[in-house]
């Protein structure tokens, strides 16, 4: 069974684990992402956080995290490890509204009704943005201009542009969440 599950995508494995409670699917995911867990944990290992206590604890946490419907596995691993070692930084990962929107988009899959509804909500949310934010989104997402080039044109740092795009994404996700509840 394990060999058959290895050929499935993460999305399919998560579906099987969440819907049908197939523990083997969770095992494949844990096996698939264990190297990432180790790589993210290595810098934090010390006398206070020895490997023989860190890895079992984080593996159990990751297994429990797989049961929740929102987010991507690699984001969950990174956030969980940062939180475990007390290195949670402000604005470190996607905000809840962005994660929920990503989950809704992922769930829409090939459902044309849901896709149409999401497209309409996205159009309305983008219409609520100020022109400068729309221009920034167009440059970055549609024209594929690099952050460095946009920052050079606007006489600012790439990190500021990155944070502004992150804020715009959060605003759009919030607008879409509000529209979904109306």
Classify residue 89: in a domain, yes or no: no
**Domain boundary, last residue among 24, 58, 84:** 84
Tens of pLDDT along 84-135?
A: 777 644 445 556 677 777 777 777 777 888 888 888 888 888 889 999 999 9
Q: Structure pTM? A: 0.50
Q: Round to whole Å and give the CA distance between 59 and 34.
A: 8
Co-location of 101 and 177 in the same domain: yes
Which residues have a Cβ under 8 Å from the Cβ of 118 and sit 6 or more positions away?
A: 104, 105, 108, 176
Q: What is the CATH number of the domain that holds 175?
A: 1.10.10.10
Co-location of 110 and 150 in the same domain: yes
What is the biggest distance separating any 2 CA atoms in the chain, rounded to whole angstroms?
Answer: 56
Q: How confident is the model at residue 3 (pLDDT cuts 50, 70, 90)?
A: low
Classify residue 91: in a domain, yes or no: no
Domains in the chain, number: 2
Tens of pLDDT along 44-59?
A: 888 888 888 888 888 8
| Residue 47 phi, psi (nearest 5) | -65, -35
The domain of 135 spans 96-181
């Amino acid at each position: 069974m394990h060999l058959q599950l290895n050929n499935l995508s993460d999305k399919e494995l998560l579906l099987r684990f969440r819907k049908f409670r197939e523990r083997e699917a969770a095992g494949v995911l844990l096996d698939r992402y264990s190297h990432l867990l180790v790589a993210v944990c290595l810098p934090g290992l010390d006398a206070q956080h020895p490997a023989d206590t860190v890895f079992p604890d984080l593996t159990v946490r990751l297994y429990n995290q797989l049961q929740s419907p929102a987010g991507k596995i690699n984001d969950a691993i990174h956030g969980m490890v940062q939180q475990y070692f007390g290195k949670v930084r402000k604005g470190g990962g996607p905000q809840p509204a962005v994660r929920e929107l990503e989950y809704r988009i992922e769930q829409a899959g090939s459902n044309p009704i849901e896709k149409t509804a999401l497209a309409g909500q996205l159009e309305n949310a983008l219409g609520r943005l100020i022109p400068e934010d729309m221009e920034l989104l167009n440059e970055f997402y549609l024209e594929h201009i690099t952050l460095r080039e946009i920052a050079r044109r606007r006489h600012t740092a790439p990190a500021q542009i990155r944070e502004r795009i992150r804020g715009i994404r959060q605003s759009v996700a919030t607008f879409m969440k509000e529209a979904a509840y109306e």
